[in-house]
Structure 1
Amino acid sequence: MAKSRVKKRPDGRYAMQIYLGTVDGKRKYKTVYGGTPKEVQKKADEVRILMGKGINITSMRDSFGDWAEKFLKSKEADGVSVSQLNSYKNYCRNHLSPLYMKSLSEILPADIQSIINETKLAKNTLKAIRNTASQIFRLAIENRAIDFNPADYVRIPKIAPEFHRDALTDDQQRWIRETPHRAQRAAMLMLYSGLRRGEATALTWADVDLNTGTISVTKSAEMINGKPHIKTTKTETGIRIVRIPQVLIDFLRNEKDSEFPLCMHVIHSARGKMMTNQAWRCMWDSYLLDLNVKYGYGGKINKFDPHGVVMRIPAFTPHWLRHTFASLLYRAGVDVLTARDQLGHSDIKTTLMIYTHLDKLYKEKHMDKLNEYLNPCKSHASQYNPESRMKSK
């Protein structure tokens, strides 16, 4: 556009209108401003370059919040789980909310980096926040609203804390094997098969073959408003055959033989119904209380004490049991591909990350044992050291 189209405004700035085309029969323009005609011309050239790339100039004025909400709607339409959708909503509306009122074209990597740096959470959570932002910008790029993804240049601080669930100790695993309780069946199942809580909730006896020692995982229970809804596992790796150890085969066979009438679901409520969120919570709290009284207090306290019972043992969640199963696979020397199949990870990177963490953990423990072995020998080291003998002479 010729420089003669540059006009000086009453406020002293210069402006130029750029024709964008027609939308619904109406001519659309974009106005660029600057302190000098040269600055205005430069901005106009930049707009034309973007138009040449097929960028929708009017969409560039859309806010990040507009596209974040479009992203959430697209994820809901894709059929992601309720828990995953809630996680996306949390990342968008809580952590990325400072960007909501900014237009897409205004946001720089530094804006997102500032949010990441100021958010004091574990590395995995920070990565999830960054990846959510990246997906929002990618959606805008696919729709020709922008041509640049600032989230791609954001780094996770090295000092951000790592978060790893602890595996249960050998003693804690023994507690589960030796403590009868209505939740013991669920605990044993997840500890020695690695099923997710949703998979365990949906599991029926028809899915369990005790003769071959296998469990067919084809479905999962998703909690919506606290109520279970069966859904088919969507990924190929989610649908799998899990091989179980003899200790679980024997336990489940005894449980099945002693249950009358036999309920359809392996894990069920006291009324024989499918487990709800509330049923899980009550059962698990009762289970941890019994374990705490037995192993935290040696049975020398009443679990119905009106003043309550202070926890002396770590309160573990069902997912800790799945992580412990992964630890057992690692300790047994099971290769990472087999472990991925057993655990149903859609991405082998998840399994590798767990194995890498466990490898580091056990190496540190082994070195601690070496240090314990060598430390008592320090006082006697000089008699075996040729240099110290020479000095003594």
Structure 2
Amino acid sequence: MGISHKNKRPHFQKIQREIETRIPNKKAAQLAAAKVEQEISNSTFIPNNSATFKQVFDNWWASHSKTLKPSTQYSLESKFNKHILPRFAHLKIQDISKEYCQKMIDEIAEQIDSVNDVKIQANQVFKYAVRMDYIAKNPMEHVIIPKNEADFLVEEPKRNFWTKQEIKNFFNLARITLDHQDYVMFHLLIYTGMRKGELLSLEWEDIDFDECTIFISKTLFFKDGKEIIQKVKTYQARTIHIDTKTIQILKKWRIQQRETTPEGKRYPSIKNVLTREDKRPLRLAYPNDKFDSFIKTHNLHPITIHGLRHTHASILFEAGATVKEVQARLGHRDIKTTMDIYTHVTRTVKERTADLFHSYIDLS
């Protein structure tokens, strides 16, 4: 809450004396005091000792949000509104203790698995509060993330990719049960390793049919029911080569896509490779829904849509591609991400390694 006009001058004089006490350099103190006086004049000044977490959050978010992509903004706002602000917003930031922070994190941990990310985001606000002199110490800094019973159990990680044979089985079923666009969608996910958002934002102009390449530079994000196309991160932008079979599938689909719709409309120039009936991009959840339903109907080994990226990578490794080649094709920021996939490659690769040793050393 701002300072009333009637009380501005006496209040400012008090604040000025406090600033001069804290900042011995006269010129720096005068500049700081002038800034506070301007804020008081604009009724935007919040005394540090009375600021609530929500007021500090608003100040931090005003600048921090400008550094984020729309999709990241949306995700973080949701996280704060759901888990952090309901527990902290009303409290004076200087009254929030370490004990309270630990209690809140323990409470959130009972509700969600991603509690560590909640702590990271809340911690950013407290760190900002320290930098801006709202508080002297960060009460969230040394909060411990509790572990649940499952964290202590050693389990074989679930296989989130398909083997070569499982891919063949999928396509045998897909050819006779899926409509053409859905078949094209899954073919591209498996044969290119693209992320779902990258595929749904893919435009025909991104495909070079002569050079057999696809240029990936954007991704699709939905907010409030509206599709938003945004640039991918710099390290994710890439050109990938595709095989002639995929080129032929895409050519056939482009012709079919432009045919007359059931409503009798014609679309001579369609922007996106995959579209709804009104030629808008597919909704973001569509590939997941279609894939999950297909797997359940045909009793296939369960994997996620993201698991198709892992499938693409594992087949590349099986075919002899290097880690660096796979990293570039998938658009991974660092090689560790690619190596994490490599450690879970198909049994075929592991068995082939054993066969290589046996063939080389065979003394019989």
* TM-score of the aligned structures, taking structure 1 as reference length: 0.61
Give yes or no for contact 1:196–1:322 (8 Å, CA) kept in 2. yes
The answer to whether 1:167 aligns with 2:173 is: no
Q: Could you say if the C-alpha distance between residues 213 and 108 of structure 1 is closer, same or farther in structure 2, counting changes exceeding 3 Å?
A: farther
Higher relative contact order (CA 8 A, sep 6+): 2
Describe the superposition over 1:219-263 as per-residue Cα deviations: whole angstroms up to 9, x where unpaired.
Answer: 222213223232333x32132223345664454355446654574
Structure 1: any 5+ residue segments left out of the alignment? Answer: 1-22, 31-46, 297-312, 371-393
Distance 1:343 1:122 in 2: 30
Distance 2:130 2:166 in 1: 50
Matched position secondary structure for 1:199: helix
Offset, 1:203:
0.9
Q: What RMSD over aligned residues (CA atoms) do the two structures have, in Å?
A: 4.2
Structure 2 residue corresponding to 1:132, chosen from 118, 121, 127: 121
Q: Match of 2:43?
A: none
Distance 1:164 1:354 in 2: 18
Give yes or no for contact 2:313–2:341 (8 Å, CA) kept in 1. no
Distance 1:212 1:130 in 2: 48
Describe the superposition over 1:252-289 as per-residue Cα deviations: whole angstroms up to 9, x where unpaired.
Answer: 35544665457432112234x022428x63x7645654
Q: Match of 2:281?
A: 275
Distance 2:248 2:230 in 1: 29
Give yes or no for contact 1:203–1:217 (8 Å, CA) kept in 2. yes
Matched position secondary structure for 2:240: strand
Matched position secondary structure for 2:235: coil
Q: Could you say if the C-alpha distance between residues 104 and 284 of structure 1 is closer, same or farther in structure 2, counting changes exceeding 3 Å?
A: closer
Q: Match of 2:222?
A: 223
Counterpart residue identity of residue 250, structure 2: L
Distance 1:353 1:94 in 2: 30
Q: Match of 2:103?
A: 114
- The percent identity for this pair of structures is 20
Q: Could you say if the C-alpha distance between residues 127 and 330 of structure 1 is closer, same or farther in structure 2, counting changes exceeding 3 Å?
A: farther
Offset, 1:86:
3.2
Structure 1 residue corresponding to 2:10, chosen from 23, 26, 40: 26
Distance 1:275 1:93 in 2: 29
The answer to whether 1:265 aligns with 2:265 is: no
Distance 1:122 1:333 in 2: 40
Give yes or no for contact 2:213–2:242 (8 Å, CA) kept in 1. yes
The answer to whether 1:81 aligns with 2:65 is: no
Aligned length: 304
Distance 2:93 2:277 in 1: 53
Distance 1:185 1:325 in 2: 15
Offset, 1:132:
0.5
Q: Could you say if the C-alpha distance between residues 329 and 81 of structure 1 is closer, same or farther in structure 2, counting changes exceeding 3 Å?
A: farther
- Per mean C-alpha deviation after superposition, the further-off stretch among 353-362 and 177-186 is 353-362
Q: Match of 1:356?
A: 340
Give yes or no for contact 2:74–2:223 (8 Å, CA) kept in 1. no
Q: Match of 1:67?
A: 56
Give yes or no for contact 1:202–1:219 (8 Å, CA) kept in 2. yes
The answer to whether 1:185 aligns with 2:174 is: no
Q: Could you say if the C-alpha distance between residues 253 and 176 of structure 1 is closer, same or farther in structure 2, counting changes exceeding 3 Å?
A: farther
Structure 2 residue corresponding to 1:343, chosen from 330, 334, 338: 330
Describe the superposition over 1:335-385 as per-residue Cα deviations: whole angstroms up to 9, x where unpaired.
Answer: 55444433334x42xx5246336516769x969xx9xxxxxxxxxxxxxxx
Q: Could you say if the C-alpha distance between residues 245 and 276 of structure 1 is closer, same or farther in structure 2, counting changes exceeding 3 Å?
A: closer
Structure 2: any 5+ residue segments left out of the alignment? Answer: 1-6, 37-45, 260-267, 355-364
Give yes or no for contact 1:201–1:221 (8 Å, CA) kept in 2. yes
Matched position secondary structure for 2:47: helix
Give yes or no for contact 1:268–1:275 (8 Å, CA) kept in 2. yes
Describe the superposition over 1:156-189 as per-residue Cα deviations: whole angstroms up to 9, x where unpaired.
Answer: 3455759988224545433443313231211221
Q: Match of 1:8?
A: none
The structure whose Rg is larger is 1
Give yes or no for contact 1:183–1:287 (8 Å, CA) kept in 2. no
**1:1-393 equivalence runs, <5 A:** 24-27=8-11, 51=22, 58-82=47-71, 84-96=72-84, 97-118=86-107, 119-120=109-110, 125-157=114-146, 159=148, 161=151, 166-178=160-172, 179-180=174-175, 181=178, 182-233=181-232, 235-244=233-242, 248-249=246-247, 251-256=249-254, 259-261=257-259, 263-271=270-278, 273-277=279-283, 281=286, 285=289, 288-289=292-293, 292-293=296-297, 295-296=298-299, 313=300, 317-332=304-319, 334-345=321-332, 347-348=333-334, 352-353=336-337, 355-356=339-340, 358-359=342-343
Q: Could you say if the C-alpha distance between residues 331 and 144 of structure 1 is closer, same or farther in structure 2, counting changes exceeding 3 Å?
A: farther
Q: Could you say if the C-alpha distance between residues 155 and 222 of structure 1 is closer, same or farther in structure 2, counting changes exceeding 3 Å?
A: same
